[in-house]
Structure 1
Amino acid sequence: MINKGIPIIDLTHGIPPQDIRQAARVIGNNYRYFPPGTVHVCVVDPGVGTNRRIIALQCDTLFFIGPDNGVFTQLLNSSESVDVYQVENQKLFLKNVSKTFHGRDIMAPVAARLASGMSIVHVGPRIARDACALISLRDPIVKRDGIAGEVISVDSFGNLRTNITKAHLSRVDLGEKPCVTLRSYAIGFSSGSYEDVSDTLPTAIINSSGELEVCVKKGNAARLLRAGRGERVFVHGHRSGCQDADLAI
């Protein structure tokens, strides 16, 4: 036990196994909501036991520990100042390090010491930010008259979360009533909350992460539309037959 007084928040265990891309999005969308001094341990690590590096990052007053496999892509691509260190000080690890669980044997002990006040410089040598692994997050295609994106995840409610964001929508003139098309279904757009949409019909809204999301308030959009990750999604200006909160079948 290094410090039993450290509060622990389990942000999510809902990332599909080995899905580095989705883990990178979750980190990028949520880290700013945590208080100064927070240490984020990110264990989506299909390369565990190989020669992939473990890295620790300091971004202002926040710390991050995880594999150097692209999971920190959004953080490393940001305009913020980020210092990166290679985690290799074995004195900080558990005595017996397994080949299959570095999250427990290396990352968690180092995180506990950082959270207890240890300087990040003790984890190992500093490395160049641009030497870290990055992955493509497949941004949507934005054109003058619309946006082409895709479903990036399906949450436990069956909501279809896309890689189209509020920022992308602001770059296109879609008029007052944009329309979303997914698998030949024309879906209306609501600028409100879940309370403002139909109980049983799919509607597109902007979720808490600023993403375009297709939801059914009292149903399951993924099941109803028979759609999942990778499904193409299009946003365009209002067209005939695409009415608010209406599903054209």
Structure 2
Amino acid sequence: MGVITLTTDLGHRDFYQAALKGSIISQLPEVRLVDITHEIPSFDIQRAAVVLRNAFHYFPDGTVHLIGIDTVFQEGAHYTMMKFEDHFFVGADNGIFSIILGDKTAQELFEIDIMQDLRYLHFPLADILTKAACHIAKGGALSEIGQPIERPLKKVMIQPLVDNNTIKGHVSYIDSFGNVISNISKELFNDVQLGRGFKLHFKRNETISRLSWHYNEVPEGEKLCLFGISNFLEIAINKGHASRLLGLHQDEIIMIEFLDTPRR
């Protein structure tokens, strides 16, 4: 039984999500469908990539991840299938594959070669992309429905600016708890810190100078920073909504200043 996950910007108000699922079940009745999220802001491939990169490896190898972001019909559109870390990804070649890959390489990469059904002209997600996802979920080879390509459309997430004593990053994601997730990875932080103390600066002249291991390490209502499940630096408030209470929103600048004193 194949597993297909869904990551889309379709929301829950309209019929689009139901039509997508109906199309998949009609082709593969025994499929196991899993919603990752349908609440990605419209056309926001960077937000979708953040969610997928943090979720996909919890699924078994061979899972097919169907990406429904920016898939509306347009002349000259390209649709891509990718095998990466023994998972499969299917979606529009709009840059999201290059963001998911980062500096890594796909195991297989194909442009989908499936005829558009004119009945679904404005909804290729429920036509071309579901056919590809179901084909893969049934064990079909990518080469049977596509042509190999060397690389996907290239788009790069904004990277932190680094020197010997500072890392300047930005807010890349805010989760449903209000935790503010940056684009500063644990690996980068450790590489620059080198055992030194630090101050994390952000909006309203707020600072944090200590890493926590978990959210309950500080009293309720107090702010903290930690490397959470995503392995990127988070700003949070214990049992509070950090984004709202600290005035931190998508793309806000944050800065880490490393001090000459040893870390505490």
**TM-score range, shorter-chain basis?**
0.7 to 0.9
Residue 124 in 1 paired to residue 180 in 2?
A: no
- Once residues 212 and 84 of structure 1 are traced to their aligned partners in structure 2, the CA distance between those partners, rounded to angstroms, is 31
Letter of the 1:33 counterpart: Y
Q: Aligned-pair RMSD on alpha carbons?
A: 2.4
Against the structure 1 CA distance between its residues 135 and 81, is the aligned structure 2 distance closer, same or farther, given a 3 Å change threshold? closer
**TM-score scaled to structure 1, two decimals?**
0.86
1:236 maps to what in 2? 257
Q: Secondary structure of 1:11's partner?
A: strand
Rounded Cα–Cα distance in structure 1 between residues aligned with 2:243 and 2:126: 34
In 2, the alpha carbon distance for the partners of 1:192 and 1:121 equals 45
Determine whether 1:211 maps to 2:223. no
State the 4+ residue runs in structure 1 displaced beyond 6 angstroms. Answer: none
* Matching of residue 58 in structure 1 with residue 80 in structure 2: no
1:247 alignment partner in structure 2:
none
Compute the displacement of 1:115 (Å).
0.3
Q: Deviations over 1:76-129 (max 9, x none)?
A: 444344321111222xx6672232x22212212221121011111122211122
Is residue 114–residue 145 contact of structure 2 (8 Å, CA) maintained in 1?
A: yes
| CA distance in 1: counterparts of 2:133 and 2:154, whole angstroms | 22
CA distance in 1, matches of 2:196, 2:35: 39
Code of the aligned partner of 1:15:
I
Q: Does 1:113 align with 2:125?
A: no
Tell me the equivalent position of 1:168.
188
1:45 aligns with: 70
User: Which one-letter code corresponds to 1:212 in the other structure?
Assistant: L
- Contact 2:50–2:173, Cα closer than 8 Å, also in 1: no
- Three-state SS of the structure 2 residue aligned to 1:10 is strand
Residue 17 of structure 1 is matched in structure 2 by: 42
Q: Distance in 2 between matches of 1:143 and 1:198?
A: 33
**Aligned 8 A contact 2:243 2:249 in 1:** yes
User: What is the CA–CA distance in structure 1 between the aligned matches of 2:181 and 2:51, rounded to whole Å?
Assistant: 12
Residue identity matched to 1:118: G
Task: Tell whether 2:154 aligns with 1:134.
Answer: yes
Q: How does 1:79-158 map to 2 (within 5 A)?
A: 79-90=104-115, 96-99=119-122, 101-129=123-151, 132-158=152-178
**SS of the residue aligned with 1:178?**
strand
Deviation at 1:46, TM superposition (A): 5.8
Query: How far is the alpha carbon of 1:207 from its aligned partner?
Result: 1.2
Distance 2:52 2:97 in 1: 7
Structure 1 alignment gaps of length 5 or more: 245-249
In the alignment, the residues of structure 2 paired with residue 48 and residue 202 of structure 1 have an alpha-carbon distance, to the nearest angstrom, of 45
Deviation at 1:177, TM superposition (A): 4.2
Q: Distance in 1 between matches of 2:54 and 2:84?
A: 15
For the residues of structure 1 that align with 2:101 and 2:244, how far apart are their CA atoms?
Answer: 35
Q: By how many angstroms is 1:172 displaced? A: 1.1
Identity %: 28
CA change 1:159–1:64 in 2 (3 A) is same
Residues 66 and 89 in structure 2, CA contact (< 8 A), matched pair in contact too: yes
* Structure 1 counterpart of 2:202, from 182, 206, 230: 182
| 2:263 is the counterpart of 1:224 | no
The structure with more helix, counted as a fraction of residues:
2
Please give the alpha-carbon distance, in whole angstroms, between the structure 1 residues aligned to 2:53 and 2:86. 16
Match of 1:201 in 2: 222
Q: Shift of the alpha carbon at 1:135? A: 1.1
Classify the secondary structure of the residue corresponding to 1:204: strand
Contact 1:149/1:163 (8 A) holds in 2: yes
Unpaired runs of 5+ in structure 2? 1-25
Flag the 1:78–1:239 CA change in 2: closer, same or farther, 3 A. Answer: closer
How many pairs are equivalent?
Answer: 237
Distance (whole Å) between structure 2 residues aligned to residue 235 and residue 79 of structure 1: 27
Q: Within 2, Cα distance between the matches of 1:198 and 1:52?
A: 52
